[in-house]
Amino acid sequence: MMTLPWNHIATLLVLPWLLEYSMVISQTDTGNALNDMLEIYRRGQAQLDLENLDESQDLLAKYDFIVVGAGTAGCALAARLSENPRWRVLLLEAGGPENYAMDIPIVAHLLQLGEINWKYRTEPSNSYCLAMNDNRCNWPRGKVMGGSSVLNYMMYTRGNRRDYDRWEALGNPGWSFKDVLPYFKKYEGSSVPDAEEDYVGRNGPVKVSYVNWRSRIAEAFVDAAQQDGLKYRDYNGRIQNGVAFLHTTTRNSTRWSSNRAYLYPLKGKRRNLHVRKNALVTKVLIDPQTKTAYGIMVQTEGRMQKILARREVIVSAGAINTPQLLMLSGVGPAKHLREVGIKPVADLAVGYNLQDHTAPAVTFTTNATSLKFEDFSDPTLINRFNRMEGPYGSPGGCEAIAFWDLDHERDEDGWPDIELFLVGGSMSSNPAISRAFGLKKVIYDTLFAEIEDKSLNAFMIFPMILRPKSRGRIMLKSSDPFKYPLIHANYFAHPYDVDISVRGLLKAISLMEQRGMQAINAQLWEKKIPTCKQHPYKSWAYWACYVRHFTFTIYHYSGTAKMGPKSDRAAVVDHRLRVHGIKNLRVADASIMPEIMSGHPNGPVFMIAEKAADMIKQDHGFIQ
């Protein structure tokens, strides 16, 4: 097998989107290397046609269903609705196609630097995102077939059963854990060998697996968490509290996006499903008299086009784009809409209730080998990747995960309030990581440059708060659909969120006292933030300051089109995801979550889409 010069591999990894154009790169050494690497990756993989279904066909004037957004929910919905051969379904995506490089799990953080990311940023703040450029956090979102399931870190969690019981208690019948569990099992194609059989799905389209590689650091973390009192368990089973090596939405070292899971198998088999890439929907058309959605306006191929819907328009554009589109269409807070020149059609709390999970990463040094960018020049690893082994299958270096109920640590079956997940590298492992987070240079140089300069082995633990109490808001900047919305994250508005973040951070540090971590000589990297020097080092006030600086989003934006009964003034959709007061308009994505669930929401969004598809079929008389 060939070995490639490191500079060629680096070109591939840093600019993965170049693969889309690999056939037109001039026949230089770099062009040949890119094509060679592409061939290496193709070997042993299914030969999949990455073009979308029926893209060559002209768009029809009218479809039964129009699904806006080909992300995690949209791909699933379009696939399920088109199971009825009598329905014509249109799926619209603002971004372009996936390519092979996006399937390599280890390069997840690099994808944020390309054009498949919307590259949103929060509004400036003096109380959070203080370590980031302009005091603004980067908020990545996928602009590509598969949406953020192509951009994320493939960490698979369902959350806690109490999350869904809580959704039902808030006035949403049919959303308790016993009601949603069948939908989790329906889409899961899990090969996790020690998953609890009563709780896992084995035959669904979304592949879930362990990674075929584990570092000594991850093993030490799992050992230390058990020594701290957690049990090793299937955290997606009956009890969530526990520690485990990460369950991932991968199979054979390959990312398993929603596009791959639901649409790839339909190529050439589903003539009633049309998909159009690079198609930005700018408005949902709503009759102001009958309050009925009847179509959309979309910009595609350089022109604006009207497409009608016989039955429904379904918005699955995510927790930022969905509220933006609804408000552009006249559905939202009436006062705010009038302020930007939009006539309200329905006065609803669109854009409110914005929630996210944050985690102030803590860095540790070790004598064990950590992941470093230069390691990928090792031809041995290239060979191992060709056999679907090695760290290439590790999702951005994330390897292990643990859940604690810090308020009730003796309750084995508690409702966890903190999650710790391990990344087997540091901010200095790859220059793209700090760029992706948007760290200020002075912060990076002060805290992390020395790790890079001394070639130290280091890793990070992210203490992620699971049930934040703060709420933010998405607002329109103007009535121009091409202007990005305003994102007011409002992190730490509630003091609980600072408190639990600090407690989670201290829990991470305390693991270094356990035998597992001592075995790899793991130690806190004790570099001080210069702008927190007014507080005694390691005091509670210092760590609170630390938390407000390293406000790392975990990309879990949700809640901005809240599900709830009409009596709930904050609700936008009902329990069947129909927009209150508007006929033939639904929302199905993370924006409907009344409260964010206790984990990573990509899996729950698959569940929402599967349940939404069944509800739509029921409402339109299609019984399978």
Largest distance between two CA atoms of the chain: 70
Residue type, 61: A
pLDDT at 322: 98
Task: Judge residue 25's burial from the number of C-beta atoms within 10 Å of its C-beta, 0-12 exposed, 13-18 middle, 19 or more buried.
Answer: middle
- For 212-245+359-464+498-549, CATH gives 3.30.410.40
d(Cα 522, Cα 624) in Å, to the nearest integer?
A: 56
d(Cα 143, Cα 120) in Å, to the nearest integer?
A: 11
The mean pLDDT value of the chain amounts to 90
Phi (first) and psi of residue 80, to 5 degrees? -70, -40
- Mean pLDDT lowest among 31-40, 146-155, 283-292, 422-431: 31-40
Separate counts of helices (H) and strands (E) for the chain: 17, 23
- Provide the sign of the torsion angle of the four alpha carbons 187, 559, 320, 426, taken in this order: negative
Helix (H, G, I), strand (E, B) or coil at 296: strand
- 3-state helix, strand, coil split of the chain in percent (to 5) is 35, 20, 45
| Residues shown for the chain | 624
Q: Are 269 and 79 in contact (CB under 8 A)?
A: no
pLDDT over threshold 90, residue 602: yes
Task: Label residues 577-601 b or e (16+ Cβ within 10 Å = b).
Answer: bbbbebebbbbbbbbbbbbbbbbbb
Angle at 491 between CA 474 and CA 320, to 5 degrees: 25
pLDDT band at 597 (very low <50, low <70, confident <90, very high): very high
The structure's pTM equals 0.92
Give 197's contacts (C-beta < 8 A, 6+ positions apart): none
167's tokens: 């959704």
Phi (first) and psi of residue 300, to 5 degrees? -150, 145
Q: What is the DSSP letter of 261?
A: I
Of residues 565 and 33, the one with the higher pLDDT is 565
Residue 570: how many other CB atoms lie within 10 Å: 13
581's tokens: 């007061």
Segment 94-105 shows an average pLDDT of 92
**What is the chain's alpha carbon radius of gyration, rounded to the nearest angstrom?**
23
pLDDT at 5: 35
Q: Are 273 and 91 in contact (CB under 8 A)?
A: yes
Give 283's contacts (C-beta < 8 A, 6+ positions apart): 296, 297, 325, 328, 329, 481
Catalytic residue among 247, 549, 556, 575: 556
pLDDT over threshold 50, residue 40: no
Phi (first) and psi of residue 82, to 5 degrees? -75, 0
Q: Are 259 and 150 in contact (CB under 8 A)?
A: yes
Q: Where are the domains of the chain?
A: 6-42, 62-99+259-354+558-619, 212-245+359-464+498-549
Which of 422, 361, 416, 385 is CA-nearest to residue 153?
A: 422
User: Does 498 belong to an annotated binding site?
Assistant: no
Q: Are 522 and 335 in contact (CB under 8 A)?
A: no
Which of 134, 140, 125 is CA-nearest to residue 490?
A: 125
Segment 211-215 shows an average pLDDT of 92
Structure-token match 């669930």, residue found: 597
d(Cα 297, Cα 280) in Å, to the nearest integer?
A: 9
199's tokens: 């709780």
Phi (first) and psi of residue 169, to 5 degrees? -65, -25
d(Cα 405, Cα 529) in Å, to the nearest integer?
A: 29
Does residue 556 have an active-site annotation? yes
pLDDT at 30: 33
User: Does 281 belong to an annotated binding site?
Assistant: yes
pLDDT over threshold 80, residue 37: no
Q: What is the pLDDT of residues 221-271, one digit of tens each?
A: 999 999 999 999 999 999 999 999 999 999 998 999 999 999 999 988 999
Same fold, 62-99+259-354+558-619 and 212-245+359-464+498-549: no
d(Cα 504, Cα 494) in Å, to the nearest integer?
A: 16
pLDDT at 557: 98
pLDDT band at 110 (very low <50, low <70, confident <90, very high): confident
Segment 48-68 shows an average pLDDT of 75
What residues form DSSP beta bridges with 208? 190
Segment 281-291 shows an average pLDDT of 98
418's tokens: 């903190």
Does residue 600 have an active-site annotation? yes
Residue type, 47: Q
pLDDT over threshold 50, residue 128: yes
Q: What is the DSSP letter of 263?
A: I
- For 62-99+259-354+558-619, CATH gives 3.50.50.60
pLDDT at 601: 98
